[in-house]
Structure 1
């Protein structure tokens, strides 16, 4: 059945929208989730895989932590490689015990979809939202197409979790919207490989050949990245070339025989790098969350985690609104989230510009990068700042 009214319309059935739906469901607030893609696409969409402690806690609060706790891989640090040397940043000793968890976005989404379909509110796949009207009224309306027919859904609030190119953001008039953006002069070539990682934690490598990252999705699947020029065609990179380049960029003098475990590469894609923030994150009865409001380069592992923090704040605000009529948290939503967003933007910018080789940078710029990496290696304060940001700043209460 097609619902015609709900308290909260959530546009976007990715991890942010689904997590918000679960948090609202457990708080007794009814919501409808509208997702433009089909279920198979949503559950297979490859994105992030590093969860901050606050994101892990939010998934547990939503009832979606059981499989994550069984299968997720806890990491206590990362390794920085530069100047053919390696330095490990130990998170717990620098942050008072905080860690991160490797658990792929695909698995987060599968867990949340299963829960929502089992006992949550309506979750409509292949529901293409065309427009949101009445954002500045007490009864906004979502216009969408589902199963070949046009429908409307009136609601008290609309939350846009529909990504950078989503429709909900257009409900915020351009006259009140400010945009801040930086586009980087390089991209990532990301690959999935059926090869067990030969490293215990993520490796971030700065080299004269460009940046490289060795990550993982499971004990048998590696997730690997190479810095490439913008506009790169993945077809120009056969498997052997990818493995050879990864080995070269990750090499350190202390381990002359160190190489990645090779296996079939099952997916290749090129990811452009950009930083983007839209302000404010609320207009009338419309709230933006996740990529609909902000984009970060993936170097700092902040994208999914920022989205999760946004919807935790949204859920608390809407729960207060329906529990006791208070709109104080809703009124402060944008400012509350943006303070955390801009810190994450800065950290992601720092990690990106410190580790990547800009095509036009001078030898002086390279020496500055190496000096910064040396500082992280030799200063506990510098290492602690990196560790605190990587493991995630607290979500405002």
Structure 2
């Protein structure tokens, strides 16, 4: 079997790239390790930059997002018991859209099915081959039968643990990493959000975030120890803890209820360089990870897709390799700016075990300056809504 582009991974990045390629008449096949239902069962972030929303429109998968998504013109920072609103739209002229990653994935899957795109689920032993030459191919097994898929290019949209990044280890790959000394305990509950906009809270007990997936489904987080266990957190304990980290009027207004999902996620920053190895490209989490503070992970994957799609379209339409040659540098320039922002947000809003009294005073001064200076608030807003592609 032969195609022009093999995409490894059927998350939002792989599906978005596949649909843009399909719309442009470029043949592609998506390979996915798990089932379609498993992919749709993942509950992930849901704050979309305008750039990503535009890409979904371009792919023909943005209609439901525009109808059901929640445009947000700002968000709240709380510290010292007070609210401080960051007016995203007033400072930048832009907003973000709250729309769950599961819904993005579902919309892209539906669009791919309608367009007749080929996605092969529940494959095993996926291996990219000969991507440093002119004739790359991917081998995989399905239902115990070995298959070979010849192609022009391979897009690794398969995450940190996928075969794409592993295939380039020892081939000049350099990695950069920062592991944070805490995690996020998060729950999803079918209760109305405590606010119509997100709330980021800095508190002596630790960070908290009030978010949502819809007008009737809330997503809440609290900073926790890395060795904490989900089993130690009853719903009642969680609700008591997050309310203790919010201003009194917000805590009193919060509607509580049984959680439908609860998990603990460690926080880390990670970048792999370069993102191109011959005819294999790393996209999204295969090449970089950000802490969830600032909601950049999904959006960074989308910007990688933008750059790679443009490069592949140029290659097939104009027989030019300029975009392909420039993909890694172009993508990494934006990746590192988003890594900086996510690192800064994490350091500004969390309590670190070793920060001490001096560090705490510096953090408080940073927050006071941030909310008291229009220039500082504009810098935050500009990064939050997303830097241009």
Q: TM-score range by the shorter chain?
A: over 0.9
Matched, 1:38 2:35: yes
Instruction: Please say if residues 11 and 129 of structure 1, whose CA atoms lie closer than 8 Å, have aligned partners that are also in contact.
Output: no
Q: Which residue of 1 aligns with 2:70?
A: 73
Q: Pick from 344, 348, 369 the counterpart of residue 342 of structure 2.
A: 348
Runs of 5+ consecutive residues of structure 1 not aligned to the other structure: none
2:117 pairs with 1:93: no
Q: Deviations over 1:17-50 (max 9, x none)?
A: 0000000011111100001110111112111110
- The answer for the alignment partner of 1:360 in structure 2 is 354
Question: How does the TM-score come out when normalised to structure 2?
Answer: 0.98
Of 186, 200, 207, the match for 2:203: 207
Counterpart pick for 2:159 among 160, 163, 168: 163
Extract structure 1 runs of 4+ deviating beyond 6 A: none
CA distance in 1, matches of 2:349, 2:2: 49
Aligned length: 389
Q: How does 1:1-397 map to 2 (within 5 A)?
A: 4-95=1-92, 97-252=93-248, 255=249, 258-395=252-389
| Partner-residue secondary structure (3-state), 1:170 | helix
Shift of 1:251: 2.0
* Residues 148 and 256 of structure 1: CA distance in aligned 2, closer, same or farther (over 3 Å): closer
Cα distance change of structure 1 residues 307 and 257 upon mapping to structure 2, 3 Å threshold: closer
Distance 2:372 2:44 in 1: 33
Q: Secondary structure at the match of 1:201?
A: coil
Cα distance in 1, alignment partners of residues 102 and 163 from structure 2: 23
Please list every run of 5 or more consecutive structure 2 residues that lacks an aligned counterpart in the other structure: none
1:183, distance to aligned residue in structure 2 (A): 0.2
Measured in 2, the distance between the counterparts of 1:112 and 1:120 equals: 12
Superposed displacement of residue 135, structure 1: 1.3
Paired with 1:147 and 1:305, the residues of 2 have a C-alpha distance of: 34
